[in-house]
Amino acid sequence: MIIEVRELERRYARRDVHALRGVSFDVEAGQRFGIVGESGSGKSTLVRLLAALDKPTAGTVSFQGRRIDNLPERKLGFLRSELQIVFQDPMGSLDPRMRVLDIVSEPLGRREPDRVAELLAAVGLPSDAAQRYPHQFSGGQRQRISIARALAPNPSVLIADEPVSALDVSVRGQILDLLASLVDQFALTLIFVSHDLGVVRHVCDRVAVMRRGEIVELGDVDQVYDAPRHEYTRELLAAAPNLRAELARLSGGDDG
């Protein structure tokens, strides 16, 4: 297993909030693992713990067989290159004062124009994009830049945290298809976080459904979608729009 989570809890005493309760799951190398739930379900807290950006109150997180939940930052260098995150709002995660060349090179600690050109091509952007600034791109293009930056250090795990929720529907499908393609091209393990079960089905092969800090359903995507066991999962499915149907009705739009 590339990631193992056992009985994970996170309490915030100051706010009297129990954000995670007894969360356990495994992620296999090469898997496309979805984490789905409404706002407040604990998804964001879980992502921070998986990336060792926060410490759990109880429980363990292991990466490639090594516990990371109890390590100080100075010993997490291996994780910072092996695990990268793509965030929801690309404009908020890209420094508007930096050219794309420097943004994508940043995780490498040095400018590497050839590597940047290779990554821009992989995400469907021209090489001359390297000399431009984030505000000169569309929302979908900015998310492609964010993905290129995440791929720069050649990670083994990519966490996509609500990566398409801020995008138009027509662009959403393009970015989802791009992520699926890159997972194969770069032999990545994908952890895809969303509030939308319809989007998760588009890219994932296994899914954990979260509610109020707990996993209420865990299984292969087809099993969870076709025969959900928990009432909350059924409610989410009933509320989820059909992404493919939406895309079929649309043409043109943002250039992604």
| CA dist., res. 106 & res. 181, Å (int) | 24
Which pLDDT tens digit goes with each residue over 140-154?
999 999 999 999 999
Q: What is the pLDDT of residue 247?
A: 52
Which pLDDT tens digit goes with each residue over 134-192?
999 999 999 999 999 999 999 999 999 999 988 888 899 999 999 999 999 999 999 99
| CA dist., res. 245 & res. 254, Å (int) | 18
| The residue type at 95 | D
Q: Are 97 and 136 in contact (CB under 8 A)?
A: no
Q: What is the pLDDT of residue 101?
A: 97
Residue at token pair 């879980």: 46
Helix%, strand%, coil% for the chain, nearest 5: 40, 25, 35
Q: What is the pLDDT of residue 248?
A: 57
Cα-trace Rg, the chain: 18
Q: Which domains does the chain have, with CATH numbers?
A: 3-249 (3.40.50.300)
By CB neighbour count within 10 A (0-12 exposed, 13-18 middle, 19+ buried), where does 242 fall? exposed
Q: Which two tokens stand for residue 34?
A: 């979805």
DSSP structural state of residue 99 = -
| CA dist., res. 56 & res. 69, Å (int) | 7
Q: Are 93 and 149 in contact (CB under 8 A)?
A: no
Which pLDDT tens digit goes with each residue over 77-135?
999 999 999 998 888 889 999 999 999 999 998 999 999 999 999 999 999 999 999 99
Q: Which residues contact 210 (CB under 8 A, 6 or more apart)?
A: 23, 35, 36, 37, 41, 42, 43, 46, 216
Closest CA to 46 of 194, 205, 230: 194
pLDDT, mean of residues 227-252:
74
Which pLDDT tens digit goes with each residue over 34-59?
999 999 999 999 999 999 999 999 99
Closest CA to 23 of 242, 192, 212, 247: 212
The gap from C-alpha 75 to its chain's centroid, in whole angstroms, comes to 23
